[in-house]
Amino acid sequence: MFRSHNCGELRIKDLDTQVTLCGWVHHIRDLGKLLFIDLRDRYGTTQIYFDSNNKPQLYQIAKNLGREYVIQIEGIVRERSNKNPKMPTGDIEIDVDRLTVLNKSKIPPFTIEDDTDGGEELRMQYRYLDLRRNVMKETMIFRHELNLSIRNFLSEKSFLEIETPFLIKSTPEGARDFIVPSRLNPGNFYALPQSPQLLKQLLMFAGMDRYFQIVRCFRDEDFRADRQPEFTQLDCEMSFVEREDILDLFEDMMRYLFNKLLNIDLPTFPRLTYQKAMETYGSDKPDLRFDMPIIDITDKLKGHGFKFFDDSEYIGGLLLINKPSVSRKYIDKLTEWVKSPQIGSTGMAYIRYLDGELKASISRFFSNEDLQKIMNSLKAGNNDILFIISGNKEKSLNILGNLRLKLANDYQLIQKNTFKPLWVIEFPMFEWDDENQRYTASHHPFTSPLNEDIELLDTNPAIARSNAYDMVINGVEVGGGSIRIHDKNLQKKIFKLLNLTNQEAEDKFGFFLKALDFGAPPHGGIAFGIDRILTVMLGLNSIRDVIAFPKNNMGRDLMMQAPAPISEEQLKELHIKII
Amino acid sequence: MFRSHNCGELRIKDLDTQVTLCGWVHHIRDLGKLLFIDLRDRYGTTQIYFDSNNKPQLYQIAKNLGREYVIQIEGIVRERSNKNPKMPTGDIEIDVDRLTVLNKSKIPPFTIEDDTDGGEELRMQYRYLDLRRNVMKETMIFRHELNLSIRNFLSEKSFLEIETPFLIKSTPEGARDFIVPSRLNPGNFYALPQSPQLLKQLLMFAGMDRYFQIVRCFRDEDFRADRQPEFTQLDCEMSFVEREDILDLFEDMMRYLFNKLLNIDLPTFPRLTYQKAMETYGSDKPDLRFDMPIIDITDKLKGHGFKFFDDSEYIGGLLLINKPSVSRKYIDKLTEWVKSPQIGSTGMAYIRYLDGELKASISRFFSNEDLQKIMNSLKAGNNDILFIISGNKEKSLNILGNLRLKLANDYQLIQKNTFKPLWVIEFPMFEWDDENQRYTASHHPFTSPLNEDIELLDTNPAIARSNAYDMVINGVEVGGGSIRIHDKNLQKKIFKLLNLTNQEAEDKFGFFLKALDFGAPPHGGIAFGIDRILTVMLGLNSIRDVIAFPKNNMGRDLMMQAPAPISEEQLKELHIKII
């Protein structure tokens, strides 16, 4: 028995108790006669002290302790004269009688504080020290509680967590697979799952009815900011359901989680079609924490003789309300920004009321009266400014979506600590891949079209809508899913539309097509990004902050130094060679 | 809404209710005027019927249904005239008004019954059909409940489930790693974890105090019966603990699980030292469901002039009680068996009382009186038979251990449905690897020696005992762990004893040795094989029967046909080539 109590539990009721505590030396304050230490473990911090008058020898030993030493102390719980109401243990302190150094510590390369002086690279290199910081520890506890709450919620709803294999067959579609050479089957390779999509569908064929799994998934993508080659997914599938069954159940789940873990009651999730989301917010994952919808002003601005507008398929605007501080300089910068390659606009116009006066970048082409009419029709008031983007409709909406977020950021339109969830539904079935001149699946090739759009597969697949849906919170797509195809002929038709030959479909998905022959039930599902849910719930910026041992943007684990070279012997056994 | 009820929930109280059910056609019985179908889903089976008098058209459609068709029916709940008390829904049946075929099915290649006619290969190929069998479904549900119960039990005890990475650094020690080429770091490789051993220790360094994870682990071993390249582990670690803290807690956990899931109260787990286990049962995972300990009869049998015995280091016996049916032929076969290469004995002797008469294979060298004395000292009675193995002690004990299990099997000494758990403690620290002329770690290189044996590391490491422990139930090692080393110098000494040069230790475990510099707490842990726990609890023979999608003994997934070749393009991107 190393300890009688942890460092977070002693209270005034424990006065005069003899206790044994273990923990890390967090702070040392040597007042000459008294030496105070904040002793820290996972459960909290307890002040302990060494009295040089009563125990001069012990005091001398304590003087040699350093930050992050691991110690065990025995002592008596005393009432503090200087109580600290911010600490749960702040009413008491320990008068130490015995001290054992369990392990020494070198001086940590950064401070073990919420606001640490350690840069991210250093923190990842010494992740075991980084995780000692309270904020990281609390995140790990929150993650544990989230996962456990999900498991208990879904189990209550008759879901079974079923473990699917990690060493599966490579069926790259979309992202690249990580692959694993098989030593015992030379020239053959396993793949790590990008998701257990086909396996969970097979579990539905197997009659499991309701499946979930909190499971690691792998995508060998070109690394970019805030992507991880491995990430955790809450993967779910249900049989004999329609879209509404799934949306209702998982909306309930999310409401339960927010209530239980954050004490926040989420509102009913509005449902937006993809089309409506794009037209209103220029995004299929709109951030509803602020208003400022995109306004279609095509009809209002066309036909005034301004060729640039007249030639545009679409003209859209964003009305920034009551911001007299918007300067000419800011507008110029913003115009440059929308014209940058990553945004890709050809330009931007504006109309504004500033201090009661109408100003517009397009005043050469429009009469003051016309401009006023436009502004009035939008109910624009003094110090409001209308930013205008025109051109191809899809592209313009995209630009307006980006512009909307930028304006919200620049003018702090986003309320902190609010959560605005919604469902986006009725996604397009396909996206056209210009480079390879073929359709790709917007969701994945196993997604069912909307019943009413099945005929469009033959006549005009480009406008066919799928029975897919995303859950979006605060502009983050936290989950997505679809009703799946359970009809073999429809599945084959989709493969064909995706340009897979019969042979390719057979090679990649033969086992799955075969399974569709033996009584596959109607089914659908959804998958959530656990890392993303956590960043949204905790208001964090990076998924690296919710993962115990994350990789950097190059896919490297800086602590272990992985990936790394392996021995020639290992390579030879695997029947491979580096080229 | 596909269904109003599932196929397991309707009762007599639901009479005359209009219901909609979905499920698979399990059995069809066409009685000419009435056609009965057992409709099956995960929750049970409900009898439905089609009446040719009242609904001739519907009856005609129903006649075309086949086994495993997926259908939806609407109808009225009626009381059965022929009640089936074995079925929870056996009091009622459904008079069908509407029938929709949701999907057809080809005739399954084997019957969907507990005693199926499908061989294991076929069952694995069509695993989605195999899982429809009730026994497999119940196993999946049990597995779900086991995992959830473990999670809730440990969470109640302040353990945090923390997810550790799957793409880590290769540090082969013991088994081979599966490796994963890194596309973005050419010539570099990740490894899949054999267990999160170092990561969980680092979580202790990080102050997480109590960690667990139900996690997939990977070992690239030469395949043999009942091994899987990927398996599920319950991985646990605790800080500031001694062995007894760990044994107590996890004994409680196992008792909780057996009680909750099987309604069985396990006894207190006896604790056997490794030495005692070997000397008494010839095994470090003894099966205590039957008695028959090994009896050291060295002193009794030596010195009678039988050179073979006199030259033996050790003579041990097993007393098979009251088995008059043991024939000469059986004894001859048994002797052949102990002499087979996999058992490796040089021979076997016996002494028995058969129908009141003393018989012995060694009667040439021993007087009847001596033999009787020996038998009497063992309290052997009529029809008892003593099997005797002699030679090198360690080897003889091993042979006796195997012989003990064989006799138990051959004479059905093992009580069914009993569970005999125990702890085996104080394992040797090292094993001598004759081939490579070096010590290997019996447990793993991070295991602490017993405090009292630390000095032996310098003087006689071969007899040093470790602070490792195994949990054994019914002869299966379901879990094992140890108190770990938290002192850097001790860790380095162990690496040295394992013949790692400083450079090798640094290359492989540098990040870990570095972490030991920053205040590593005393800690220890344990890991359980979930698949093994399940086979023991459910009394199954193979872990393949508790895994949703297992691989065969060659590591192949027969359903997906993995591993498989991958494209030249994929190989090229990964900077590798097949040789």
- Whether A168 sits inside 8 A of B562 (CB atoms) is yes
Give the integer Cα–Cα distance in Å for A324 and A354: 6
Q: What is the mean pLDDT of residues A279-291?
A: 97
Q: B497-509 pLDDT, tens per residue?
A: 999 999 989 999 9
Domain boundary among B371, B393, B414: B414
- Render pLDDT for A233-269 as a digit per residue (tens, 0 to 9): 999 999 999 999 999 999 999 999 999 999 999 999 9
Q: Which residues of A are less than 8 Å from B139 in CB distance?
A: none
Tell whether B230 and B326 lie within a shared domain: no
pLDDT at A474: 97
Dihedral class, residue B206 (left if φ above 0, else alpha if ψ from -120 to 50, else beta): alpha
CB neighbours of residue A135 within 10 Å: 14
Tally of structural domains, chain A: 3
> Are A565 and B189 within 8 A, CB to CB?
yes
A297, A302, A285, A274: which is closest to A401 by C-alpha? A285
| Chain B residues with CB-CB distance to A129 below 8 A | 206, 518
Which residue of A160, A172, A207 is in closest CB contact with B41? Answer: A207
Residue B54 Cα, gap to closest chain A Cα (Å): 29
Please name the member of A182, A515, A555 whose beta carbon is closest to the beta carbon of B563.
A182
Say if residue A42's pLDDT is above 90: yes
B2–chain A nearest CA distance, Å: 5
For residues A535 and A546, give the distance between their C-alpha atoms in angstroms, rounded to a whole number: 7
Residue B173: is its pLDDT beyond 70? no
Burial code (b: 16+ CB inside 10 Å, e: under 16) for B267-305 equals eebebbebeebbbbbbbbbbbbbbebbbbbbbebbbeee
Residue range B310-324: mean pLDDT, rounded: 96
- The whole-angstrom distance between A278's CA and the closest CA on chain B is 30
The nearest CA of chain B is from the CA of A12 a distance in Å of: 23
| Residues B52 and B154 placed together within one structural domain of the fold | no
Measured torsion, CA atoms of residues A422, A439, A194, A128, in degrees rounded to the nearest 10 = -60
pLDDT digits (tens, 9 = 90+) for A328-341: 999 999 999 999 99
Which among B176, B559, B575 is the nearest to A578, CB-wise?
B575
Chain B CB contacts of A555 under 8 Å are 167, 182, 184-185
Distances from the Cα of A89 to the Cαs of A40, A77, A85, B177, in angstroms? Answer: 11, 11, 8, 47
Closest CA to A232 of A547, A445, A13: A547
Both A215 and A343 in one domain: the answer is: no
Q: Between B161, B179, B572, which is nearest A566 by CB?
A: B179
Find the closest chain B residue to A203 by CA distance: B128
Q: How far is CA B433 from CA B174, B437, B439, B440, B536, in A?
A: 12, 6, 6, 6, 31
| Interface mutation target, options B107, B204, B561, B576, chain A, most CBs of A under 10 Å | B576
Distance from CA of B53 to the nearest CA of A (A): 29
What pLDDT shows up at residue B74?
98
Same domain for B320 and B388, yes or no, is yes
Of all residues in chain A, the one with the smallest CA distance to B224 is: A184
Residues A216 and A298 occupy one common structural domain: no
Length of chain A: 579
Q: Which residues of B touch A241 (CB under 8 A)?
A: 2
Q: Determine, yes or no, domain membership for A22.
A: yes
Q: How far is CA A424 from CA A52, A390, A508, B229, in A?
A: 67, 25, 30, 41
Burial class (CB in 10 A: 0-12, 13-18, 19+), B364: exposed
Which of B530, B441, B424 has its CA nearest to residue B494?
B441
Q: How far A135 CA lies from chain B's nearest CA (Å)? A: 13
Distance between start and end Cα atoms, chain B:
55
The CATH number of whichever domain residue A135 belongs to comes to: 3.30.930.10
Residue B163 has pLDDT above 90, yes or no: yes
Q: Is A491 exposed, middle or buried (0-12, 13-18, 19+ CB in 10 A)?
A: buried
What is the dihedral angle through the alpha carbons of A261, A262, A264, A270, rounded to the nearest 10 degrees?
-70
pLDDT of B227: 86
Domain boundary among A362, A390, A414: A414
**At residue B230, does pLDDT exceed 70?**
yes
Asked, for residue B392, whether it belongs to a domain, the answer is yes
User: Which residue in A4, A70, A132 has the most chain B C-beta atoms within 10 A of its own C-beta, making it the best mutation to test that interface?
Assistant: A70
Q: How many CB atoms lie within 10 A of CB B381?
A: 12
For chain A, the C-alpha Rg in angstroms (whole number) is 30
Residue in B with minimal Cα distance to A161: B144
How far is residue B11 from each of residues A174, B2, B87, B208, B364, measured CA to CA in Å?
48, 20, 10, 50, 75
Question: Rounded mean pLDDT of B548-565?
Answer: 95
Question: A266 with A124, same domain?
Answer: yes
Average pLDDT, chain B: 96
Q: Within 10 A of B312 (CB to CB), how many other CB atoms are there?
A: 20
Note whether residue B88 is domain-resident: yes
A-B contacts (CB, under 8 Å): 357
ipTM: 0.96
Structure confidence at residue A222 (pLDDT): 85
**B160: which chain A residues are within 8 Å (Cβ-Cβ)?**
140-141, 144
Final residue before a domain boundary, out of A384, A414, A444: A414
Q: Is residue B470 part of a domain?
A: no
Interface with A, mutate which of B1, B70, B490 (most A CBs under 10 A)? B70
Residue B146 contacts residue B534 (beta carbons within 8 Å): yes
Share of chain B above pLDDT 70, in %: 99
Chain A positions touching B143 (Cβ under 8 A) are 162-163
* Euclidean distance between CA atoms A326 and B417, whole angstroms: 79
Q: Give the contacts of B138 (CB within 8 A, at least 6 positions apart).
A: none
pLDDT digits (tens, 9 = 90+) for B482-534: 999 999 999 999 999 999 999 989 999 999 999 999 999 999 999 999 999 99
Return all residues near B2 (Cβ < 8 A) that are at least 6 apart: A240, A241, A242, A522, B20, B22, B72
Reported as a single tens digit per residue, the pLDDT across B384-397 is 999 999 999 999 99
CB-nearest to A160 from B141, B230, B562 is B141
A518 pLDDT band, cuts 50/70/90, is very high
In angstroms, the CA A216 to CA A193 distance is 8
Nearest to A564 among B1, B189, B555 (CB): B189
Percent of chain B clearing pLDDT 90 (strictly above): 92
Average pLDDT over residues B371-400: 96
**Residue span of the structural domain in which B327 resides:** 290-414
Mean pLDDT in residue range B201-221: 97
Average pLDDT over residues B429-439: 88
- Residues A375-389: pLDDT tens digits? 999 999 999 999 999
- Write phi, then psi, for A353 (nearest 5 degrees): -105, 115
My answer on whether A44 and A186 are in the same domain is: no
Confidence of residue A173 (pLDDT cuts 50, 70, 90): low
**H or E stretch including B238?**
strand B230-239
The lowest-confidence range among B232-236, B435-439, B504-508 is B435-439
CB-nearest to B24 from A72, A181, A207 is A207
- Scanning every residue of chain B, which has its alpha carbon at the shortest distance from the alpha carbon of A229? B167
Per the document, the length of chain B is: 579
**pLDDT higher than threshold 90 for residue B556:** yes
User: Which residues from A are below 8 Å from B141, CB to CB?
Assistant: 160
Whether A73 and A98 have beta carbons less than 8 Å apart is answered as yes
The residue written with tokens 């790709």 in the block is A440
Structure-block tokens of residue B348: 């076997």
Nearest CB neighbour to B102, from listed A132, A179, A521: A521
Read off the pTM. 0.96
Query: Which tops the pLDDT comparison, B25 or A173?
Result: B25
Query: Quick one: pLDDT band at residue A416, thresholds 50, 70, 90?
Result: confident
> Which residues does chain B have within 8 Å of residue A208's beta carbon, measured at their own beta carbons?
42, 131, 137, 140
Q: pLDDT digit string (tens) for B30-76?
A: 998 999 999 999 999 999 999 999 999 999 999 999 999 999 999 99
Establish if A455 belongs to a structural domain.
Answer: no
Token pair for A316: 């859209």
The partner residue sitting opposite A183, judged by closest CB among B184, B220, B511, is B220
pLDDT at site B224: 74
pLDDT averaged over every residue in chain A: 96
Give the pairing of strands A160-161 and A210-218: parallel
Which chain B residues contact residue A70 at CB under 8 A? Answer: 519-522
**Distance between CA atoms of residues A185 and A538, nearest Å:** 46
Domain match, A72 and A189 both = no
- In chain B, what residues touch A490 (CB-CB under 8 Å)? none
CATH of the domain at A94: 2.40.50.140
Which of A136, A150, A160 to mutate: most B Cβ within 10 Å? Answer: A160
Q: Is residue A431 part of a domain?
A: no
Q: Are residues A265 and A126 in the same domain?
A: yes
Classify residue A69: in a domain, yes or no.
yes
User: Residue A438: which pLDDT band, with cuts at 50, 70 and 90?
Assistant: confident
Nearest CB to B148; choose among A104, A155, A229: A155
Residues of chain B in contact with residue A165, where contact means CB-CB under 8 angstroms, are 230, 549, 551, 557
Residue numbers in A near B187 (CB within 8 A): 565, 578
Q: Which two tokens stand for residue B478?
A: 């379901």
Residues of B in contact with A123 (CB under 8 A): none
- Does B577 sit within 8 Å of A575, measured CB to CB? no
Q: A27 and A82 share a domain?
A: yes
Tokens of B577: 């080539």
Q: Is the pLDDT of residue A351 over 70?
A: yes
Mean pLDDT of the A404-428 span: 96
Q: Residue B412, Cβ neighbours under 10 Å: how many? A: 9
Specify if B86 maps to a domain: yes
Q: Is the pLDDT of residue B98 over 70?
A: yes
Identify whether residues A229 and A99 lie together within a single domain. Answer: no
Look at residue B575 and tell me whether its pLDDT is greater than 90: yes
Residue A349 has pLDDT above 80, yes or no: yes
Same domain for A266 and A162: yes
